[in-house]
Homo-oligomer: A and B are copies of this chain.
Amino acid sequence: MSQPLDFWFDFSSPYGYIGAEKIGALAGRHGRDVTWHPILLGAVFKVTGGQPLPMIPLKKDYARKDIERSARYYGIPLNPPSKFPIAGQAPSRAFYWAAEQDTAAAKQLALALYRAFFVDDKDISSPEITAEVAATLGYAREDILAAIGSGALKERLRRETEEAIALGVFGSPYVIVDGEPFWGVDRLDQLERWLAQGPF
């Protein structure tokens, strides 16, 4: 059986959000499952010298326009959050905790958190707000808050981010399939050709 795709993303990344809305169906069309890995791009940027888009002259103005236009292009609802970028610790740790019990449910939690941030302008960097979003899916708020504060999940997120850097991940979304990397929503077309036809 084919290996799952690895899908790396940061909860503060708008292109990661668009990718998250697309990746499951894309992989499914080619009989593949997807393993989701939220990470902290801030730690990656310490290695690459990268910066969050809103910090980069010229590019930040383009990015603001491109993010909204790309969402419309791909048919994904998006309202620019009033606070951006945000820290991804709370939603990422909540995700890994949920994934330890049920990976499919954890992906639904990740999508709910992304939508809360990028559609409903909820600041999911707040543990309380992440717990509130999780509660709408039936999670107990106190379990989510405990997970976010847990040393084991803090360590898990640190480890995943280090693994991402070791694999060469430098942005979000970033997909690796059978060792082949695809960075960005705009590489989903190439990823799909790869899945359909094999290496090119």
Q: Which one of A84-92, A102-110, A186-194 is at the interface? A: A186-194
What is the interface of chain A mostly: helix, strand, loop, or mixed?
A: helix
Taking CB atoms and an 8 Å cut-off, the chain A residues in 22-60 that contact chain B are: 44, 47-51, 56-59
In the complex, are the beta carbons of A170 and B72 less than 8 A apart?
no
Q: How far is the CA of A181 from the CA of B62 in the complex (A)?
A: 7
Instruction: Knowing A56-B49, A57-B48 are in contact, say whether A73-B190 is a contact too (CB < 8 A).
Output: yes
In the complex, are the beta carbons of B69 and A168 less than 8 A apart?
no
A83 within 8 A of partner (CB): no
A20 within 8 A of partner (CB): no
CB-CB under 8 A from A65, the residues of chain B are 181
Q: How far is the CA of A48 from the CA of B57 in the complex (A)?
A: 5
Contact of A168 among B48, B61, B70, B184 (CB under 8 A): B61
In the complex, are the beta carbons of B190 and A62 less than 8 A apart?
no
Q: List 6 A-B contacts (CB under 8 A).
A: A58-B168, A62-B168, A62-B170, A65-B181, A73-B190, A73-B200
If A56-B170, A59-B170, A73-B190 are given as contacts, then 8 extra A-B residue pairs at C-beta distance below 8 Å, sorted by A number, are A47-B58, A49-B57, A58-B169, A59-B171, A62-B168, A62-B181, A69-B190, A73-B193
